[in-house]
Amino acid sequence: MQPLRALESHLRRLATPDVYLFSLADLEALVPEVSHQAFKMVVTRALKQGLLQRACQGIYLFDGAGHKRGLELYHIAAKLRAGYFNYLSQESVLSVAGIISQLPFQRITLMSSGRSGLVSCGPWGVIEFTHTKRNLEALGPRLAYDPEVRLLRASPDLALEDLKAARRNLNLIDEEGLRGNAL
């Protein structure tokens, strides 16, 4: 079987609505019979034919699994930094809690034990990682796992603390929303 057809066959068999993002290593493991150089060509062809979409560097989306739309950016963040301690915080949490008057559009903010940086995810938006030295043991009671987005989520008080610690713009804080959350 041709490598591209083999890759497609494996993706159709393995992908589910919950498993639709694949790293390059995941994809390469599906066609072990080809060299690394040949594998790069297979991925290039898969992209050109629309079998895969590049979500961000090293992460690819297989759209044939029927995943839930609108959560891709969160799932990409979880996949991208799977080996690190990450949690949604700052503007992403504060806007949902009504503490920030504006809702970030196609942008999510996470605290991460990895390095700080912006990751562009094409049509899905931008992921902003802010480095933290804090760990799960120290923050555990102030974090909750959100199964829909597949990430830990900070409590509003922790998100506000993170916003201040990162010296972010505090002008968007809605004092009424802040009082309503009784932080």
Residue 176: how many CB atoms within 10 A of its CB?
10
Which residue segments constitute the domains of the chain, with CATH numbers given?
A: 3-65 (1.10.10.10), 72-181 (3.30.460)
Q: Output the average pLDDT for the chain.
A: 91
Q: Please, which residues have CB within 8 angstroms of residue 91's CB and are 6 or more apart in sequence?
A: 100, 104, 107, 109, 163, 168, 172
177 band by pLDDT with thresholds 50, 70 and 90:
low
Percent of the chain with pLDDT over 90: 77
171, pLDDT greater than 90: no
Comparing 84 with 180, which gets the higher pLDDT? 84
